[in-house]
Amino acid sequence: MKIAIIDYNAGNVQSVIYALNRLNVSPILTNDIATLQSADKVIFPGVGEASSCMKSLKKTGLDQVIPQLKQPFLGICIGLQLMCSHSEEGDTDCLGVFPLKVKKFNKKNDEGEIFKVPHMGWNTIQKLNSPLFGDISEDAYVYYVHSFYAEMHQEFTTAKTTYASEYSAALQKDNFHAVQFHPEKSGEEGSKILEAFLKL
C-alpha cells in the first residue's frame, strides 16, 4: 500500500511520518503530482500560516490537483483549514473542498470568559460520525494546537469540540476526511484514528 504525504513546506510533517512508522507504514513525502495521483491514500498534514501554505501549493500546481483526488484523503490541522473555502488568516482563498469559512478564535466568548489563543493542549471530541472514529469513544481526548477553526456544518461536520465556541473538530465529504487536532500527537486514540484511515 502506497501512502503519500503532501510536501508543501509546512511544519510538523516528521511527527506524522513517525506515527505511521509506528503502525509499520513507510509513507512517501512528495509534491509530485503523478505520485500523489497514484497513491492508495494521501495525507495532508502540517503546521503553518494559511496564505504562505497556499502559495506553496500554487507553485507546484497542487492547489488544482488536491480537490480532484479520488482516493481516501486525510487533512490534519492546517490541512483541514486549507481544505475549506476561505480562511481569515491572511484573508486567504483556500482549496474549497468544504464550503466552510475558517475563523480566528475570539479571546472572549459571549459570556465574557477569557480564552488563550492559540488553543493548545488536550480537548474532547463529540458527536462522532465518521469511519475514522469507529474505535473511539464519545468525549475522547485528542491534542490541539491552533488559532483558527472551521465553523460547524450540518452535512460535513463529523465531530465537534468546544473552545471559546463550538466548531468542527472533523469534517468529511466523499473521500475527503479532515481533523483539526493532531492524531500523531494524540497517543493511543490518535493511533486508532490513523489506523482507521489506513483501512479505508
Residues marked active site are found at: 77, 182, 184
Compute the radius of gyration of the chain from its Cα atoms.
16
Task: Compute the residue count for the chain.
Answer: 200
* Grid coordinates belonging to 111: 459570556
HEC assignment per residue over the chain: CCEEEECCCCECHHHHHHHHHHCCCCCEEECCHHHHHHCCEEEECCECCHHHHHHHHHHHCHHHHHHHCCCCEEEECHHHHHCEEEECCCCEECCCCEEEEEEECCCECCCCCECCCCEEEEEEEECCCCHHHCCCCCCEEEEEEECEEECCCCCCEEEEEEECEEEEEEEEECCEEEECCCHHHCHHHHHHHHHHHHCC
